[in-house]
Amino acid sequence: MSEVPGPAPETEVETVSDEDIRTESEVQSAEKHTPTWHGKPLEPGDARHPGTDRMSPSYDGILEHDHYAEWQGQPIIRFFPDHFLSEGTAMVLLLCLYSVLCIFAPAILEVRSNPAVTPLGSKPAWYFLFLYKFLHFVPPLVGTLTPVALLVLLGAWPFLDRNPSRKPRRRIFALVLAAVVVVGIMTLTIMGAME
């Protein structure tokens, strides 16, 4: 006697959404395209990585903010003419206000200065006190060229710094350097004010 086959055992059917279906060429192109910066691959979380602006844990566990979702549905404001006209209007209105203030409430002028007489205890304004004090510690040529060199370095810093990350824990050198400069300026300013 032959056995009569019973009903086939039920198997789980896996449902696949349209988002899960990718062609083989899409998978290969995604694997081939790894974002790079100056020839080095970028990790998720770096400022220049295309996946940085999504709300997802990056490689070091920090949630990134999804700027696209935040502004989705908002009206588009073009730089020209929308933003340009609003900023230009504000600038003209402020210029008119300052002109009216200059005409009807001019600054009070003090006694005319005499270039032949040097006042006693002359000091620069508070925002130049650190340079004034710095000149006491170095020769005049060094005291003159150092601020210029530091301003050139500050302007060139975005081109010299090749670290693409914007996370503070990956910017230790830049943060320490900035802290040393700020503390130095504050110390020299206080020393110049107390003199």
Domain boundaries, the chain: 28-71, 77-107, 123-195
pLDDT digit string (tens) for the chain, length 195 residues: 556 555 555 555 555 555 555 555 555 555 556 777 677 777 766 666 666 544 444 545 555 555 566 667 778 788 888 899 999 999 999 999 999 999 998 887 777 778 888 777 778 888 999 999 999 999 999 999 999 999 999 999 888 888 877 788 888 888 999 999 999 999 999 999 988
The pLDDT value given to residue 142: 93
The pLDDT value given to residue 106: 84
Query: In which region does residue 26 sit, left (phi positive, over 0), alpha (psi from -120 to 50) or beta (all else)?
Result: alpha
The pLDDT value given to residue 55: 46
Task: Please indicate, yes or no, whether the overall pTM of this predicted structure exceeds 0.75.
Answer: no
The CA distance from 27 to 91, in Å, is 52
The pLDDT value given to residue 141: 93
The pLDDT value given to residue 179: 95
The pLDDT value given to residue 122: 77
The pLDDT value given to residue 176: 93
The pLDDT value given to residue 47: 60
The pLDDT value given to residue 45: 61
The pLDDT value given to residue 31: 52
The pLDDT value given to residue 92: 98
Pair 192, 123: CB distance under 8 Å: yes
